[in-house]
Amino acid sequence: MYRSNNCGELRSSHINNEVTLSGWVQKVRDKGFMVWVDLRDRYGITQLIFDEERTPKAMMEQAQKLGREFVIQVKGTVIERDSKNPNIPTGDIEILVSELTILNTALTPPFTIEDKTDGGEELRMKYRYLDIRRNPVKNNLIFRHKVTQEVRNFLSNQDFIEVETPYLIKSTPEGARDFVVPSRMNEGQFYALPQSPQTFKQLLMVGGMDKYFQIVKCFRDEDLRADRQPEFTQIDCEMAFVEQDDILDVFEGLTRHLLKEVNGVEIEKFPRMLYDDAMRLYGNDKPDIRFGMEFGELNAVTQHKDFKVFNDAELVVGIAVPGGNSYTRKEIDKLIEWVKRPQVGALGMIYSRCNEDGTYKSSVDKFYDQDDLAKWAEITNAKAGDLVCVLSGPTNKVRAQLSALRMELATRLGLRDPKVFAPLWVMDFPLLEWDEDTERYHAMHHPFTSPKPGQIELLDTNPGEVKANAYDLVLNGNEIGGGSIRIHDKATQAIMLKHLGFSEADAKAQFGFLMDAFEYGAPPHGGLAFGLDRLVAILGGQETIRDFIAFPKNNSGRDVMIDAPSKIDDAQLEELSLKLNIKS
Ligand code: ASP
């Protein structure tokens, strides 16, 4: 038996017990006549004591030679500590060791294995197995486990069945590039790894499974913007015989359950907002509603004067910064520089100070009088002491820019408290999205999303206006998940694919299996998927999903620990009937 107890459970009530413990040497304090060792395992730290008077000489010497991260087993007696440590749960006791076995030695670790470590991110990733011994990483993994357990409990209690779907499949269009896997048995042919199990879960509905979920890996070969992973986990769900409200109710219930069980936070009904309103009020389809600072559109109160910049703009829009009138000229100039950074891309920013005495002072006083500025304040909801910041330009661009400014200011003002949770459903997304690069419409969600009833005809006349039965769940300004009611008949699916630019032959080649299935009695169905990594990070009050993934990849998609991706040898290529012809 390696251990009778773990390193986190012994208390004064165990005094005089004979115990066996195993774990890692966290620290050795050697006073010559006395040696203390902190023994660590997943559950905590227990202090071991060896002393000249009570410990045989050979064991004393052995203890003095223990190195950090040695794996040892000890037998001994639980005794009361002379000087207690109230900071750890086992701080009242220590183990007087009677037997010491070194189970394994360890090289000196490349960084300190403590809560605050001296190891940089890249180094910690290379030795992730050591990093996982640290509390912050270990606790995040345990936290993630708790969340997934609660997801499984909740959904199983609601009659959902977890079904596994294959990883070696054919491309599923979720808007990203596929990872592909060459097939040895089918020369020159490739599987794609699923961007999501989308078509399979729809086929499970045709198969009568009725309520499906899966905690599942998805793979998307995208350029890795900060905090994305090429492989990530979804809580993927689908339900048959449901309307949008049924789905929102179930997954609002799941989210509420998680907030309650995991965070102890109770939240009433989640607000719902139309996509168009989210864009108008926050310039963003995933607004952070923990704070106000809603947009005020100012075209009507700015385009009647000679200020050409505003007159030429499609949209003039502002926000009120609470207390912003206290900013110095220099601080405002810095803010203007901030919006002009290429990442934000505004050409400039106009502002109006709302003085305590009810007067206004703007950067465009030449064009606008006090009455005009009073209207700006009214529309942006600015109070005395605030600062109105105004951007102008093409609608989509200027909304994105002002949204970036809104988030930045809220962060600076401390309005984005990670302990506050503000969920929001955003609904009625456009079905299609114009892509400037390819000059074509793309499915905003995916090609299986159904248009709102009665809008099919609009596809021919005004495709950009067609709204979908699609919804996203947003939490604290992050998209946690999204889904839709699906198309479930072949004819509508064919129309949709035609509008996305698929020829009949291409549509058949790529999605024939799904369209065929729709001809054998497909029930009305819909679903959604939550991004588990991000959900866990947000519930954990943190920002980076990497911190909640046991073995994450870096920003270039590399696993620096196992050194992947890497070359394969010629024999492997030969087996796959592949010859490399690397372009660069
Ligand atoms: N498959 C979708 C996604 O991965 C989710 C859904 O529509 O259910 O975003």
Q: Which atom of ligand 1 is nearest to the CA of 195?
A: 4
User: Ligand 1 mean position to 261 CA, how many Å?
Assistant: 25
pLDDT computed for residue 361 by the predictor? 97
43, 5 contact by CB (below 8 A):
no
Of the candidates 243, 247, 241, the one whose C-alpha atom is nearest the C-alpha of residue 523 is: 241
Instruction: Please enumerate in sequence order all residues whose Cβ is within 8 A of that of 89, keeping only pairs 6 or more positions apart, or say none.
Output: 8, 11, 44
User: Ligand 1 mean position to 206 CA, how many Å?
Assistant: 17
Q: Which atom of ligand 1 is nearest to the CA of 528?
A: 8
Rounded CA gap, 234 and 214, in Å? 8
Question: pLDDT tens digits for the chain (584 residues)?
Answer: 999 999 999 999 999 999 999 999 999 999 999 999 999 999 999 999 999 999 999 999 999 999 999 999 999 999 999 999 999 999 999 999 999 999 999 999 999 999 999 999 999 999 999 999 999 999 999 999 999 999 999 999 999 999 999 999 997 777 889 999 999 999 999 999 999 999 999 999 999 999 999 999 999 998 877 788 999 999 999 999 999 999 999 999 999 999 999 999 999 999 999 999 999 999 999 999 999 999 999 999 999 999 999 999 999 999 999 999 999 999 999 999 999 999 999 999 999 999 999 999 999 999 999 999 999 999 999 999 999 999 999 999 999 999 999 999 999 999 999 889 999 999 999 999 988 888 888 999 999 999 998 898 898 889 999 999 999 999 999 999 999 999 999 999 999 999 998 999 999 999 999 999 999 999 999 999 999 999 999 999 988 999 999 999 998 999 999 999 999 999 999 999 999 999 87
Q: Which atom of ligand 1 is nearest to the CA of 197?
A: 1
- As to burial, measured by CB atoms within 10 angstroms (0-12 exposed, 13-18 middle, 19+ buried), residue 2 is exposed
Ligand 1 pocket test, pick from 205, 215, 234 with the greatest ligand atom count within 8 Å of Cβ, gives 234
Ligand 1 pocket test, pick from 169, 174, 178, 532 with the greatest ligand atom count within 8 Å of Cβ, gives 174
533 is in an annotated binding site: yes
pLDDT computed for residue 583 by the predictor? 87
User: Ligand 1 mean position to 260 CA, how many Å?
Assistant: 25
Q: Which atom of ligand 1 is nearest to the CA of 201?
A: 8
Q: Using a 6 Å CB cutoff, which residues line ligand 1?
A: 174, 196, 198, 482-484, 527-529
Side chain identity at residue 500, one-letter code? L
Side chain identity at residue 272, one-letter code? R
CA dihedral 567, 571, 576, 577 (to 10 degrees): 110
User: Ligand 1 mean position to 483 CA, how many Å?
Assistant: 5
228 is in an annotated binding site: no
What DSSP assignment string belongs to 453-479? TT-TTHHHH-GGG-BBSEEEEEETTEE
Tell me the pTM.
0.93
486 is in an annotated binding site: yes
Neighbours of 361 (CB within 10 A): 13
What DSSP assignment string belongs to 232-275? EEEEEEEEES--HHHHHHHHHHHHHHHHHHHH-----SPPEEEH
Query: 């996305």: which residue's tokens?
Result: 500
